Amino acid sequence: MGEDKVTILAIGGHVGDMELTAGGVLANHSLKGDRIVTLALTAGERGVPAGQNMSEYREQKVNEAKAFAEMLGGEAIVFDIPDGELQDDQDMRFKVCDVIRQVRPNIIITHFKNSMHKDHMTTHRIVNDARFFAALPTFDRELPAHFASRLYYAENWEDAVDFRPYVYVDFSEEAYDLWVKAVSLHWFVTGSKSFPYLEYYKHLVRVRGIEARKQYAQTFMIPEETMRVLKSEL
Core vs surface per residue 216-227: b (16+ CB within 10 A) or e: bbbbbbeeeeee
CA distance 42 to 61: 10
Cβ atoms of residues 30 and 198 within 8 Å = no
Distance set, CA 124 to CA 54, 75, 109, 219, 223 (Å):
26, 21, 10, 17, 11
Stretch (H or E) spanning 9: strand 7-12
- For domain 7-226, the CATH architecture is 3-Layer(aba) Sandwich (3.40)
If pLDDT is split at 50, 70 and 90, which confidence band does 4 have? confident
Core vs surface per residue 77-105: b (16+ CB within 10 A) or e: bbeebebeebeeeeebbbbbbbbbbbbbb
Indicate the residue type of 157. Answer: W
Residue 138 confidence (pLDDT) above 80: yes
Residue 3 confidence (pLDDT) above 90: no
CA distance 166 to 6: 21
CA distance 160 to 91: 28
pLDDT at 2: 46
Mean pLDDT for 113-121 is: 96
Q: Where are the domains of the chain?
A: 7-226
Cβ atoms of residues 57 and 48 within 8 Å = yes
CA distance 174 to 179: 9
Mean pLDDT for 109-126 is: 97
Mean pLDDT for 16-40 is: 98
Mean pLDDT for 67-78 is: 98
Q: What is the pLDDT of residues 195-225, one digit of tens each?
A: 999 999 999 999 999 999 999 999 999 999 9
User: Is the sign of the CA dihedral 221, 224, 226, 229 positive or negative?
Assistant: positive
